[in-house]
Structure 1
Amino acid sequence: MQHRRSTHHGAGGSTRGPGRALRWSAALLVAPVLVACAPDAEDPQDDQTPPGQEQPETQFDTLREAAPEGFYVGSAAAGGGHHLEQDYDDPFTTDEAYREVLAEQFSSLSAENQMKWEFIHPEQGEYDFGPADAIVDFAEENGQVVRGHTLLWHSQNPEWLEEGDFTPEELREILREHIETVVGRYAGRIQQWDVANEIVDDDAEIRTEENIWIRELGIEIVSDAFRWAHEADPEAELFLNDYSVEGINAKSDVYYGLAQDMLDDGVPLHGFGVQGHLSTQYGYPGDLQQNLQRFADLGLKTAITEIDVRIVMPEDGQPDQGAFEQQAAYYRMSLEACLAVEGCDSFTLWGFVDRYSWVPVFFPEEGAATVMEDDYSPRPAFTALLQALEAAR
């Protein structure tokens, strides 16, 4: 594959989070990683190290240091959502060690839940910007960019909205006011916005029933949302975003056609986001690079926006080394696919430590989906990402 090469540090450079910086031992960082593709997967690289051989040692301690110039490696900032039901305090606000790793390792942050409707707009006419403000402020203090998530979605909407008795005209005004208020508040401080999230269902159909906006206002409201967001912050890059669109399939085909139509209509659509919620029990989407490339050929930026790789958990709760090596291969191939496509400059982990991961809550038989153990020691997947970034410099 062709890599970007640069003699500069990655986007944002190296920084220290508040307090003591957490560093990684050389022994952990050079742990052997197998990058052979999983069964039934197409391997998009032809330069894989043969199975059983160790990868070369790494020069850098952190993902953000290893990244090529202009390439952002991100993480979701944990909080809200399922975290409210767990037996711990808000991670982003209270866990200092977590915050230190978040600052040290990553050059981009996404609000996991804190910018979704039910958290930022809990009552009609009332906003709670505190948690979102904290993430944006933290990012600026640590030389990081922010991905805003999300403005139009069928899920995690407040009760007042979903159960309200609104006319179509009122709903349209509610959405317009929300977008102008939220995007406008952070104008100039958000690099990318997931404007429309998961508007296509698993049957590759537009969500005309689940999504209140599309159901009541038609698919045209998606284009209006992009226009309003662009007016509120002309500098932000505006994305469509979804899961299960890693490869060229029926669902990603719908987005490809929708993107063409929006661009033909002059809609300020700037990018297509592939979430990347993968599982080692399924084959790897070996055509990820080709799929990203076809959107890039439309003139769009692309991004991996929410990647994690689940493992089916054994009875003792501890996956074997082979499972972690397969996981590492999935992470690495996804990153290399993005690096190979011009304009794919953002690669975001949907969390980096298991204890704050959404995966066990929603997939009870799967877990260990992140790149670090709960003590923040790196798994093979972390090392694989570090090596792939370094190779692309």
Structure 2
Amino acid sequence: MRGAASTRWHPPTRGRGALLTAGVLCMVVLVVSAILAVALPHPEQEQPTRGLPHLARAHGIDLGVAVAVNPLTHDTRYQSVVTENYTSVTAENAMKWEHVQPERSRFDWSGPDAVVDFAERNGLDVHGHTLLWHNQQPSWLAQGDWSAQELRQVLREHMEALLGRYQGRVTSWDVINEPFQDHGPRLRENLWYQVLGEDYIAEALSMAHEIDPEAELYINEFGIEGGGAKTDAMYSLVTDLLDRGVPLHGVGFQGHFVHGNVPQDLAEHMRRFSDLGLEVTVSELDVRIPQPPREQALRQQEQEYQHVVQACLEVPRCVGVSVWGVSDQHSWIPEWFPGYTAALPFDEDYEPKPALDGMTEALSRRR
């Protein structure tokens, strides 16, 4: 017991003590209300973005990813990786000729619509891929016996349908994809080259600009990231196009790298093109590792992803980096490069790999 005085009963009072208690309670309520007003945004206020998208936007670049239609529409974990880590999407296959126009004048918009609709619902930009390529052409196009006039009409019909449908929604396009030979500096003798001649590139760019004057138009190529004859040939091509006033806005450096061979001078080669006033982007990044993927290789891959993103940040008018696939489960690498795997920042179970930390580290550094 605390003494006899504590056992005595006192009648209730409404004096100074009660008023003090009420005042304290009012102050507590006011303080808590003020904290909640700051901590909880009003419903109409947009929640701040965090993580990689926030970091990329802070640097003024896109961090993109190539997406496939089926998992994008059916797999919630796939969807979450896209929305939580990237600011833009590219349709990996859905916008290519064989999918969009499997028969002449019969267009299938289910795939492209799914990609664009998903992007718009989630506040993502869309990069269009691709209008002219030597692969994934429908048989009616690839095996047709075309005159120059007929092929130009086919091309116009396709562009008017595709660019017209997504005008204002898809704001940049790979108009020309892989125009050079795989390992050389000569233009590839594809369908367009054979029928229209080497000026087909200028014709296609001009036609695309006529149909959608607001779209950013790109030439996209692999094997130009480390310099050499192919890089020089691309530089000569785009310089000639610009000198002639052909509408060209950017060059995509695909970036399909082998672990251990990511060019250290990547920024230098991209800067050559940005110095012409062109945008540049790393458009299809992956870094494949020999099987089985060992921990040391994955840690080194982390540094390689960091280096690529850092190279973009160092180059004026580098507008973004896009990885080519959401996870190793959906990567094209094992099929096309047997013996290689683990090329992307997320593994087959959608778990982040050290490569994701590498991109985060590059984007976390101040300019």
TM-score (ref. length: structure 2): 0.84
For residues 68-127 of structure 1, what are the alpha-carbon distances to aligned partners after superposition, in whole Å with 9 as ceiling and x for unaligned? 242110000124xxxxxxxxxx22221121112211211110000000010011101111
Distance 1:13 1:370 in 2: 29
Aligned partner of 2:53 in structure 1 is 64
Query: Could you say which residue in structure 2 is the equivalent of 1:26?
Result: none
Q: Tell me the alpha carbon deviations over residues 163-198 of structure 1, each in whole angstroms, 9 at most, x when there is no partner.
A: 112222111111122112211111111121111000
Q: Tell me how many residue pairs correspond in the alignment.
A: 321
2-side partners of 1:220 and 1:71: how far apart? Answer: 32
Match of 2:238 among 259, 279, 300: 259
Change (3 A) 1:267 1:135: same
Q: Is 1:312 the equivalent of 2:287?
A: no
**CA spacing shift, 1:250–1:153, aligned 2, 3 Å:** same
Partner of 1:109: 89
Residue 76 of structure 1 is matched in structure 2 by: 66
One-letter amino acid of the structure 1 residue matched with residue 61 of structure 2: F
Give matches, 1:86-105, under 5 Å. 90-105=70-85
Partner of 1:301: 279
Do structure 1's residue 384 and structure 2's residue 358 form an aligned pair? yes
Cα gap change, 1:78 to 1:391, in 2 (>3 Å): same
Cα distance between partner residues in 2 of 1:240 and 1:94:
32
Percent identity, aligned pairs only?
45
Q: Deviations over 1:46-71 (max 9, x none)?
A: xxxxxxxxxxxxxx5x3212222421
Q: Does 1:249 align with 2:228?
A: yes
Change over 3 Å in CA distance of 1:264–1:310 after alignment to 2: same
Alignment deviations for residues 114-157 of structure 1 (CA, whole Å, 9 cap, x no partner): 00010011101111111101111111111111110000111111
Q: CA deviation at 1:14?
A: 5.9
Amino acid at match of 1:225: A
Secondary structure at 1:131 match in 2:
helix
Structure 1 distance, partners of 2:192, 2:245, is 21
Matches of residues 1-393 of structure 1 in structure 2 within 5 Å? 62-67=51-56, 68-79=58-69, 90-209=70-189, 211-280=190-259, 282-314=260-292, 319-392=293-366
Structure 1's 14 and 257: CA in aligned 2 closer, same or farther, altered over 3 A? farther
SS in 2 for 1:219: coil
Counterpart of 1:260 in 2: which secondary structure?
Answer: helix
* Residues 221-251 of structure 1: per-residue CA shift (max 9 Å, x gap): 1111111111121111111101111122111
Instruction: Specify every segment of 5 or more residues in structure 1 that has no aligned partner in the other structure, as ranges.
Output: 1-11, 16-59, 80-89
What secondary structure does 1:63 align onto? helix
Structure 2 unmatched ranges of 5 or more: 1-45
Aligned residue number for residue 28 of structure 2? none
Q: Distance in 2 between matches of 1:118 and 1:14?
A: 40
> Could you tell me the TM-score, scaled by structure 1's length?
0.79
> SS at 1:195's partner residue?
strand
Against the structure 1 CA distance between its residues 206 and 176, is the aligned structure 2 distance closer, same or farther, given a 3 Å change threshold?
Answer: farther
Regions of 4+ moved over 4 Å: 12-15
- Separation in structure 1 between the aligned mates of residue 324 and residue 73 of structure 2, nearest angstrom: 18
CA–CA separation in structure 1 for the residues paired with 2:226 and 2:185? 17
Letter in 2 for 1:337: A
Tell me which residue corresponds to 1:49.
none
Cα 1:251–1:377 change in 2 (3 A) is same
Report which of the two has the higher share of helix.
2
The separation in 2 between residues aligned to 1:143 and 1:371, in whole angstroms, is: 22
Structure with bigger RCO (C-alpha 8 Å, 6+ apart): 1
Kept in 1: contact 2:328–2:347 (CA 8 A): yes
> SS of the counterpart of 2:224?
coil
CA contact (8 A) 2:81 2:326 kept: no
1:202 deviation in Å? 2.5
The two structures, once aligned, show a CA RMSD in angstroms of 1.6
